[in-house]
Structure 1
Amino acid sequence: MSALPSLVLEKLENLPASPGVYLFKDREGTIVYVGKAKSLKARVIADLDTLVTASEKEALILENNLVKQHQPRFNVKLRDDKQYLSLRLPLDDPWPRLWVVRRPNRDGARYFGPYHSATAARRTLHLVNKHFQLRTCSDVDMAARKRPCLQHQIKRCPAPGVDEVDREWYGEQAKNVALFLSSRHDELTDRLGDQMREAAETLRFELAAVYRDQLRAIAKVREGQRAVAFDGEDRDVIGFFREADAAEIAMIYVRGGRIADVVTLPLKNLRAPDDEAISAFLAAHYAPAASDDEGPSAALPIPKEILLPMELEAEGGLGEWLSELAGHKVDLVVPKRGPRHELVALANENAKHAWTDRRKSSVDVEERLVKLQEKLRLPLLPRRIECIDISHLGGHDTVGAIVAMTDGVPDKKRYRTFHVRGTSGDGTGGDDYAAIYEVLSRRFKRGLDARTELRPADSAMLAVADSAGDDDEPAEVDADAGWDLPDLFVIDGGKGQLAMAIAAARELGLHDLALCSIAKEKENVAGELLIDRIYLPGQKNPIPVKSTAALLLLAQARDEAHRFSNRARERLGKQKRFASLYDGVKGVGEKTKQALLAAIGGPTALARASDEEVLAVPGVTKRHLHALRAAFPGPSANDSEPASS
């Protein structure tokens, strides 16, 4: 205690025995940890601040807000909430559809999830689309459609935007989907059984077959769900395992008495006590997506019971806060025996297993990186690897994609895509060498700027990630990830592509950047199969990849870069194909453009329309009209003033 500064000692003597929040600071005054306590006097770094609250619940809310505000380095850090996906089903829509969203809103729609990965969410979406006949197209696509799409042809959509569809029957399908996603399988099975028999009795055998297939799909899903029913209620079960500053949280979702999903999350550099780590996880997991005048609501469904592996100091305030969010009583239970205790034991075992697997995987990757360093004679351990690939379509829509791997795992926040400009401004005419030189010159220039802590004046990156945000694409580029250069840069190609990369690096004075290229397997002139091989600067003969685990890391990076560049090129082509001539009109935004297309049509129709007709379009003003007539002269082009609205 005597080693503490006198300021801290003075504060400790005057701490109140009341609920509140404490903020630990380092010598520079930076907040390094935010915590809560029933009694601030019972909790005791170079400095601390305390904030007294009226209750434990207020302390929990204040702690959550301060952690978000200050991002202290010793607090529990979970994955960014953008990674949690849900499925949205607006049952009050005339023709409901199901799709993936990142954050539930208070809009009256039903939300299902969260899903621990985009893959799990989209797999569920695919299962629903395959067996339950709901439309998959957006409202705009459905309104513009003149004939049924492929989904209708393969019997997965009744095409409500084109064909005559029984709205009541369609609504029943949507309700069945809601039951399916809510894991109310018993109720849904009874419902579908009755519908199948009714359809068969009225000789609608094709419809009866649809219900039969849905019943089979439900049965198959239930086969993979372990029954733990002792009362059939929904509950979330928390498991926890920790060694030193690394821990794992496991969460078992029990729905309708069956295990619907098991999710594990790592907690790294953990300094907080075990109970605080679990409290912080629950607060972050169920935290509201937004607050409005009606008050906050949970971003995720909260069951009536949450089973915990240990007592929490903040249990009272946490339970009160969760109950308020959920709109019903939420019980936090630490079971000592019986089926509930067995569920917690199962969750703890899952947490331990995940922690062990993650540690083993980390050790394996370390060994592979060391062997890769030795094999390629690299000056540094290649913890971060980047790889470039070029994709184009007949010499047009040329895109360069760069992917990153950190410790053998895709680092999607560092993925980058570049529109290749070329000498003509429309790519390089299929010249991969020129494209590689251009893209790497821009990438390396960014890296050089990062070394000198400078930011380039203009943005060299013209396109980044896919907005779909699934597991295959990053949701957005992380500006904090920076442009610093990797330990090893890999080029998809052979000696020629490697030579272009070396030229781009040396032009900027980057003589210390480790480079190599990896060529795909092919046949030589003698008909012999040449396996993947790696080319190094200054070395005549390539290194065969074969099945060496360390070298396979480079093949994985190459394959990922190839996939990512193709996706980027497809997006660019799609943007061009679906571009509207209205896109270039100054002041005409997306909503105005859609309104014009719906009410009048394209520029040709606009040229025939009178000013009065254009101004009658919702959202179109005189300012829009002037800009539109300047771009597409119409019958009123010679008038000094457009007609009044």
Structure 2
Amino acid sequence: MLAGDGSVLYVGKARDLRARLGSYFQKRIDAVKTRALMARLAGVQTTVTSDETEALLLEQALIKELRPPYNILLRDDKSYPYIRLSVEQTFPRIAFHRGKRRAKSRYFGPYPSSGSVREALNVVEKVFRLRNCTDSFFSNRTRPCLQYQIKRCTAPCVGLVSEEDYRRQVALAIDFLDGRDGAVTDALERRMAAAAEALDFERAAELRDQIAAIRLVQQKQYVDTDRGDVDVLAVLARHGIAVVEILVVRQGRVLGHHSYFPKVRPEDTEEDVLDAFLSQYYLGDRGDLALPAEVILDRPVGGLETLAAALREARGRKVRFASTVRGERLAWLRMAKENAEQSLIGKLTSRDNINQRYAALARLLDVESPPARIECFDISHTGGEQAVASCVVFGPEGAIKGDYRRFNVSPPQGGDDYAALAEAVTRRYQRMAREGKALPELLLIDGGKGQVGAVIAALALIDLAALPVLGISKGPSRKAGLEVLHHGDGRTFAPTADDPALHLLQQIRDEAHRFALTGHRARRGKARSASLLEEIPGIGPRRRQQLLNHFGGLQQLRNASVESLASAPGISRSLAESIYAWLHD
């Protein structure tokens, strides 16, 4: 799709080009991105290919070359880092490497990040004590350096280790980096036994420490001897930012993870992001990218058969895609999801991102400078019971968690969020005013006109009517990006879905909701646990607490047998039978 000046706006493919193009020329187009694209569209060029695989390869080549603004673009295309072992030298050096590879050296990887390489190097240096110094430093030494003193090198530079012994350590390091940990430990155990038999106990102790270090590394890995070369992908999109997290597993060993932040638009779903990412990542012109035998995805994606066929044609390698896994693969997938969550949180809370969003908020509210302190309230309850109000605080530096507060609120009528908000706001700001603490420059409420009106009325009763109040409510469809803002002065406006100010308000609102929900669940669980145990004859407050502490919670207490209950401190066999009968009958 071309603009008026001939530049490319968008590249796409389809089995039926007529149907695909016809979908763009409709009277009603809901997607904002598509409407913006059609407003700039001046012409269309098509290329007919022989099959879907050829179309996919062509699409990715054009996206890589032309970088169209309306495609989801993969922006990070740096070369991958490796571990280099200079086996061509008499005393090989092990080091970090990125870039062009030399013919005679051994390379291990690729690793997903430089941190993963340095972590692996740290283990290899500790266990196998290979040199990491430059050749010029090595050739000019007259005495051992600090690496030898801290037992991370055997000092081949000054002849403290023979070439044969050093080569033996190099061979073990190669086996270790290739994933043959079992062979390494077996060889070390044989050498340790031989050293002990020869009464060389100092050498045997060194070998024992090497084996222990390797065992520790093995315990930290999810080992799978079947298909051990795996990429695990998880995608997460929130508040205008998307992240694709790749966990790299080679020979059953997790080498690390890498985060990619594709350029996306508000209408792009997580499935859209992952779909676009897969083809660009695996079909891109990355000569240093080693394809795995299997790619695990955190959700089903269409067109994977076509992508697998394209990889076989372009890279000569068969790759299996899966989204339903179990065992170690499920553990890897959970790890990828957790890292995606952390990466997204880090991106959202980065100073550059926060500053940009605060500046956009000032423009949205039509004020000279952004509010230096924003406090947001939300209410959480179940059917009106055990209601909890949360207050979270944000500033230009991000979340100020030390100032977060929760309030157990009891409105006259259960489920009355208006009264609950009024109670929480009154308690919060009466105390702050009494203690002379700084008040917020913007009070954000999760709710619409009703909630904003209740809060303004409560503030007026404590002489704080001048405090700026802003409500954020979900639109008629309740989709993210379609929120409506309600200003305390009566104004109502709806920012665009890609407005950084809206993304900031969504982030603060969601944090208030999370904080209220966790507080409510804790209060509800405590109340239910206490009320159930209070009814058991012969169980007082102290013994109730001892039981909960001993078993770790009410659910674990319910699952306990009579014998387990009788083994708890202060519980006799007869009392254990009474507790068991009460919990189960």
TM-score by length of 1: 0.45
Bigger relative CO (Cα 8 Å, ≥ 6 apart): 2
